[in-house]
Every structure is written in structure tokens, then in C-alpha cells.
Amino acid sequence: MTIADTLTRPPLQNDYLAYPDARGRFGDYGGRYVPETLMPLVLSLEAAYAAANADPAFHRELNGYLSSYVGRPSPLYFARRLTEHFGGARIYLKREELNHTGAHKINNCMGQILLARRMGKTRIIAETGAGQHGVATATVCALFGLPCIVYMGAVDVERQAPNVLRMNLLGAEVRPVTSGASTLKDAMNEALRDWVTNVADTYYLIGSAAGPHPYPMMVRDFQRVIGVETRAQVMEAEGRLPDALIACVGGGSNAIGLFHPFLNDESVKIFGVEAAGDGMHTDRHAAALGGGRPGVLHGNKTYLLQNADGQITEAHSISAGLDYPGIGPEHAWLHDVGRVKYLSATDDDALEAFKLCAKLEGIVPALESAHALARLPEVCAEVGKDGVVVLNLSGRGDKDLATVAARLGMNLGAIS
Amino acid sequence: MSEGRIAARFAALARENRAGFIAYVMAGDPDPDTGLAILAGLPAAGADFIELGIPFSDPMADGPPIQRAALRALAAGMSLEGVFDLARRFRATDTTTPIILMGYLNPIVSLGYEAFAAKAAAAGVDGLIAVDCPPEEADPLADALDANGVDLVRLATPTTDDARLAIVARRTRGFVYYVSVAGVTGAKAAVAADVAPAVARVRAASGLPVAVGFGIRTPEQARSIARVADAAVVGSALVDAIAEAIAEGRDPAGGALKTAAALSEAVHTARELVA
Ligand SMILES: Cc1ncc(COP(=O)(O)O)c(C=O)c1O
């Protein structure tokens, strides 16, 4: 799919900020598709979140930790050499990789752990793919002295070994999951099985803008700080709104966090980038919007990679954080109504962009973020020479060095 | 509409003052032909109802035994159409034992609710339990099933309080399935003393028979549940019997049916022993 194709559909007139509705729906997507055992839990979470959200003391506490512990606001950095390299639009990087623990994931974890404490929960569980969300969850659990269990696909335990070590050092128990393809979707199944078993004391800290309502809304709200800061920072730097935003999309939390405060600004073109793995012409990719169709999994209705019988198929991406067959329901809706254009980048595209960003800007990006970097040429061309583009640099790439070394045929032992 | 097979079977059980035995097996486990042989043998082994699992790649409410059964069935080529086919072939030899499909929503969404309901009815299916479809999301599915005379059987659980019970009961048909433990299938053991008041509560709220499942493995457990519930459901133990038979090179159908016979005997005689 070329960018020209995706831009032909005009966005609908809509108040994009009015969603989800009371049933947790973004258009036809979202909802609460959980077993009856969990239904009372998600309803009480929804009520607890609404109460916290209405309480200025909750926001004061959260903002305090975001500035003194996470290190917010994160800078908006003008990427001069990338701008020169692509010869067009002015490129800014939103530096989420500078947050404590090295990715945007901690924004959400900080919000949810404060909520879990308000709810009196004493045991925290989480799923993780790349390990970034697991590390962020283990971190906030250490901060508040709460026991933490992280479910992680056995394949990801292998390819993200440094993050497993970090989680262990932070006092979390990492439980490798060997069902299915042993990646993120299977870790999420196992976390849900834990939650259904430990209903009284356990808080499930979901790491992306997915799962049953209220998670997609709540995670988005906690990640919105990215877009709110960006808005002020770009006004300060350029005196106007950006022409385009771009972010990678796994479950979609870093992307929706950047996009949401701009959704009603029709002049701002918005691009999400899914993982195309070996390529969209193959069946080895992780692009739920590009290659899936609507269905129900993990508590929400959304686009899913699935076969003709409705069995979920395995996603494939070099990036563990994007290796998921679904996508958050708000993105499914923004795709259908045409407000956000979803592109994709292959493993090879992402690797090239990974190297380019390191070489030109002295920033080693996460492989997830490299998927967004890979689509900069088209987005820059789209907005023209005087355009302003903001890219969400969702995380740093230290965790990916072994993966990149293996892919490039380097021996990590020999080069370190 | 004439009385369906589910209502007829519960009425007969009530007349005989005995509890029903509901045997859960995964459709097409370990392969379609053996799966059919197991189905065909279950009524003679004492199953009053058959709960037929629709295999799904991501069974998030199931423990390892049923997860593995789903994988075996899928690996042997089972699909939702295959499930209908099994039900149809079973109906050729048995016109009275109710079949209740149990599964996850995505294969059903993928086919479409109307098409699913029509095909299920045509195949002789009597009910559906959709694990990940709570009442709040179920109306379109319930409409389609109602229109085709297939009962939507709902789940009540230890976390379902009285306010929710009213919601659960509202459009449930046939019976209510009380999940006796908070957890996945095949993990924790149900305690009859805790289950008895819950069953009474669910029965009062719904006016329907109550089947109890999720924590029943042994004939002893089945017997104690059968004293307080209208039916006892056993799944993981049957599915494990299939897995064990395969591992030991024995006939899976024989293994499953022998286990079913022992469990049904315990359920059927439970109330005599008290009296
Ligand atoms: C650095 C980074 N970016 C992006 C993602 C993808 O998640 P999301 O789409 O929720 O932002 C991950 C997930 O692990 C990540 O670690």
C-alpha cells in the first residue's frame, strides 16, 4: 500500500475525543469480552479509575512521580541530521526513550500502580513482549514494595534476555510461557488465566491500549502525556501545530498517547506503522490492520490476524514489542473512519532505520520505534519541505543489540 | 415452540430424582473419527448431556488439559464446520441426548452469529456456552440463537453477586452453568459445602436448572456435587483420559468412555446414597 492510496479517503467529521462510549466502544470496537468471573473485576476497575480520574489528589500524586521519578517532560528534539538526510520536512523526535527504564511504558505503569494501591490490591501481574512493559511494571512494583509476576513468552525470554535479568534484579518473578508460539499473545492468555484464578488480591497491569474496557481508555489516558507535552513543545519550537505525527503500533499505546490530543486537529496528518515482518505479501507479519479482519480476543473486539475458521494466527516481527496478532480497539476504529493512516515496515526496513538513526543522531532506537523511523521518507515527502513532522521515539535499543547482532551476522561477544 | 431436548432431559431427571451427568469433550479430539466414536459412546456410558468443545487457538479460561485437547483437535484438522459435522453425525444415531457447544467467541464471530445459529440448529445442536461473551455483549448473539431455537446457556461464578445474577439470568435459556471455582478449567477442586448455597441462589434467580462444573475430577467429587446441583459437568478428567490413553498407546475412546462411566455412576447414585 502506498501513501497516496491511503490518503485518498477523507476523514469523517467527528469528535474523536468523545470515545469510548459508556459500553467501552470505539465505534464497533472495544467492549468487555471477558468470562463472567472477570466481569465484576473489570466493572470495579472502571469505577475505581473513574473515581481516581476525578480526584485532583490522584493527578497530583501521578504528576509528582512522573516528574521526579520518570523524568518527565521528555524532550522534543529537532533531529537536524535526519532532516538533512531526508531533505524535506523538519523532523522532531519525541524522546520517550529517555524516560526511566527506557521507553514510554513507564507512563502507563505509574498511573496503574497508583490506581492499584488506591484499590487496595496487593499482588501485581503483567504480560510482556519486548520486556519493556515487564521492566516498567517490575520497577513500579519495587518502588511500592508490591510482589510482581510477569508472564513472558519463552521465545521472548530468549530474545530479550537483558530485560529478563533486569526484571529479576527488580525483584519480579518472570514466568516463561510455552503455549502457542510462546510470544506476547500467549503471555496475555496466561496473565488472564492468573487473574481469573486470583480474583481477590490481584491487579492485572496491562501494558498496551488493548484488552477489555476500561484498559484501552485508561492506558491511552496515561500515555496522553506524550501528546500533551508534544503539543506545547512544538508550539514553542515552531509556533504552530505539526503537519504530521508518526509512531509505531503494536498494541498501540505509544501511538495513541501521541495522537490523541491531536485527533480533532484536522490539519494534522497522523500515521501509525505496523510491523510487516518478512513483508505484507507473506503470511509472516504482525500487521493486524494491514492483513487481519475484525474479531474478538483478549477482551476486546478489534482487528486480528486469523485464519478462515477464526483461529488466531501467529504474528511475526523482528521486534518482540510489535509481535502481536491484534491491535488496540481505538486504532481499529481510527483506521475504519480514516482519521489515521496505517502503514507498515518490514524487519529489513526497521533494521536499516535502526542503523541510520544511530549513525546520524547518536540515538540507538528500539526496534519497535525503528519501524516508525523507516516510514519517515514517505511521510516527509507527503508534508513537503516546509512541513513539520513529530516521530515518537518510543524506546531505546539497548535491549535489541543481541537481536540486531544476530540478524547482521555479528558476534556480540566479539564486538563488545 | 415444542419443548427442546435440554428442557425434556432436565424434566426427566427431576421426575427420576437424580442429577444429570454432563460430559465435556473437545470436538475432534484426538481426531475427527475417534472424536465421533467417543461422542457416540457417551450416552451408553451414562452421559445425560454432551458438552462439545469448539477448539480455539487461545482458550484463555482453560487449564492445560483442555488447552492441549484443543491443540490436538486443531492439529487433526478440526474446525467450526467440522464441529457441526460431528454433531450431525452423532444425531444420526441419537436423537435425544442434548448437545451444548462450548467455546470462545472468535470462531463464532468469524462465521457470523446468524450463520452460526442456523448451522448449529440444523446440525442438531441444542445450546451454546460462549465463555468470553458476558451478558453485556451477548444481545446480538442471543437474538440469533433465539431465532433458531438454540439455548444460550450463561455462566454464573463465585464472583457473580446478586445484582449481577439478575443480569446473568435475564436471557439465559435451558440451564445456568455455575462455575464452582474462580479459576481455569481443571485446576482447583470444588467444595460441595460452598457450592450448595450458590446453586440455590442461582436457581432462585433464574428459575432454571443449575449445572455445576470446572472443579470436578473424581467420582467422589462428582457424587458430592450431584447431591446439591441439577447436573455435574466433568471435562478435564475425560480429556486427560484421552491424553493418557494416547501416551500409553491405548484406545483413546475406550479410555474416555471408561472414565465417563465411573463418573456417571457416581452422579446417578448420589442421591440414593443420601436417602
Ligand atoms: C519501545 C517500544 N515501543 C513500542 C512498543 C509497542 O507497544 P505499543 O504499541 O503499546 O506502544 C513496545 C512494546 O513493548 C516497546 O517496547
B235: domain CATH number is 3.20.20.70
Give chain B positions within 8 Å (CB) of A312.
Answer: 57-58, 106
| Buried/exposed code over B109-135 (b: 16+ C-beta within 10 A; e: otherwise) | bbbebeebbebbeebbbbbbbbbbbbb
Active site positions of B, annotated: 51, 62
Cβ separation A196–B160 shorter than 8 A: no
Residue B95 CB coordination number (10 Å): 9
The model's pLDDT over B4-44, given as tens digits with 9 standing for 90+, comes to 999 999 999 999 999 999 999 999 999 999 999 999 999 99
- What are the chain B neighbours of A32 within 8 Å (beta carbons)? 134, 136-137
Please identify, by atom number, the ligand 1 atom nearest to the C-alpha of residue A254.
11
Kindly give the number of the ligand 1 atom that is closest to the alpha carbon of A103: 1
Of B134, B156, B184, the CB nearest to A197: B184
pLDDT recorded at residue A183:
85
Mutate to test the interface with B, among A39, A293, A312, A313 (most CBs of B within 10 A): A39
The atom of ligand 1 lying closest to the CA of A320 is 14
- What is the residue type of B57? S
| Chain B contact set for A198 (CB, 8 A) | 182
pLDDT in tens, B89-124: 999 999 999 999 999 999 999 999 999 999 999 999
Q: Say how far apart CA B164 and CA B157 lie, in whole Å.
A: 10
Q: What is the mean pLDDT of residues B63-87?
A: 97
Comparing B3 with B147, which gets the higher pLDDT? B147
Per-residue DSSP letter, A396 = B
Question: Which residue's alpha carbon is nearest to atom 5 within ligand 1?
Answer: A321
Strand A299-304 relative to strand B20-26, pairing: unpaired
Alpha-carbon distance B45 to B4, whole Å? Answer: 22
pLDDT value of residue A13: 59
Q: Is A230 in the pocket of ligand 1 (CB under 6 A)?
A: no
* Residue count (chain B): 275
Q: Is the per-residue pLDDT at B275 higher than 80?
A: no
pLDDT at A336: 98
Give pLDDT tens digits for A289-328: 999 999 999 999 999 999 999 999 999 999 999 999 999 9
Q: Where are the beta strands (DSSP E) in A205-298?
A: 244-248, 269-277, 293-297
A-chain residues within 8 Å CB-CB of B182?
Answer: 37, 196-199
Q: Say yes or no: CB of residue A371 within 6 Å of ligand 1.
A: no
Q: B134 near A32, Cβ under 8 Å?
A: yes
Give the residue, by CA position, lying nearest to ligand 1 atom 13: A321
Tell if the CB–CB gap between B136 and A180 is shorter than 8 Å.
no
Segment 38-57 of chain B within 8 Å of chain A by CB: 56-57
Rg from Cα positions in chain A: 20
**Band of pLDDT at residue B1, cut at 50, 70 and 90:** very low
- Specify the number of domains making up chain B: 1
Residue A132 and residue A103 in contact, taking contact as beta carbons nearer than 8 Å? yes
- What percent of chain A is modeled with pLDDT above 70? 96
A394 part of the active site: yes
Could you say which of A46, A96, A97, A127 is catalytic? A127
pLDDT at position B107, please?
A: 98
Range of the domain at B143: 2-274
Average pLDDT of B189-209?
Answer: 94
ω into A176 cis (within 30 of 0):
no
| Distance between CA atoms of residues B158 and B164, nearest Å | 11
